[in-house]
Chain A
Amino acid sequence: GAVVSQHPSWVICKSGTSVKIECRSLDFQATTMFWYRQFPKQSLMLMATSNEGSKATYEQGVEKDKFLINHASLTLSTLTVTSAHPEDSSFYICSVAPHWTKETQYFGPGTRLLVL
């Protein structure tokens, strides 16, 4: 499988601040990465597809101006939660789908965000 890291693993911030989450593909170059969000006792929901060198594709209902995605290199995608509010508190998880695995996605360890 693919090795994916995320940083930070935990973040606590005040309401109104912005938080940046990094997702790194450690053992292969990923032209596409995915960002998911998971609320307590809920399943993972796809937020957006991050494409290297181009704009991200957001799912319906996800505010692109609030969740800024930058996929600046083949190994790094970042998700910035702008002006975070308590309702943004969630578990944010990125994934990659290596070309050799026929769409199988491997997930990073996740970032738990708590907005006070």
Chain B
Amino acid sequence: QKEVEQNSGPLSVPEGAIASLNCTYSDRGSQSFFWYRQYSGKSPELIMSIYSNGDKEDGRFTAQLNKASQYVSLLIRDSQPSDSATYLCAVNLGGGADGLTFGKGTHLIIQP
């Protein structure tokens, strides 16, 4: 049974600070990892993808992957009120066109 765990929050962060979101997964065979942002009532939008151990940076976002610890994180620098949303961690076992297994998401609130 593939599982993806996230702290549901809410996680409250002051504007301008760094928001740190964490995710663990149970299937050691997972190969592809994604962070999606979901605003209330909307569908998920892709923030970051990561496939190799280490850090991957894209603008204010940094994804970190540690396959040995089965741990993925997302850092959001210079947090803005518009970053307030639910952040979903998703994993793909890999090897082609597989569906994603999602965590329940972390509700992030950026306080102005």
Contact = CB atoms under 8 A, between A and B. Distances in A.
Q: Do A and B bind each other?
A: yes
B44 A103 contact: no
Contact of B92 (A103, A108, A109): A103
A107 B45 contact: yes
Contacts of B42: 109-110
Contacts, number: 57
B51 interface: yes
Contacts of A54: none
Contacts of B45: 107
B29 interface: no
Q: Which of A49, A104, A110 has the most CB atoms of chain B within a 10 A radius of its CB?
A: A104
A95 to B, nearest CB: 8
Interface residues of A, number: 26
Contacts of B43: 91, 93, 107-110
Given A32-B97, A103-B32, A44 B102 contact: yes
Given A43-B88, A102-B51, A103-B92, A34 B99 contact: yes
Contact of B46 (A49, A102, A106, A108): A106
12 contacts: A1-B46, A31-B97, A43-B88, A44-B100, A46-B99, A95-B100, A103-B97, A104-B34, A105-B46, A106-B46, A107-B43, A110-B42
Interface of B: 32, 34, 36, 42-46, 49, 51, 88, 90, 92, 94, 96-105
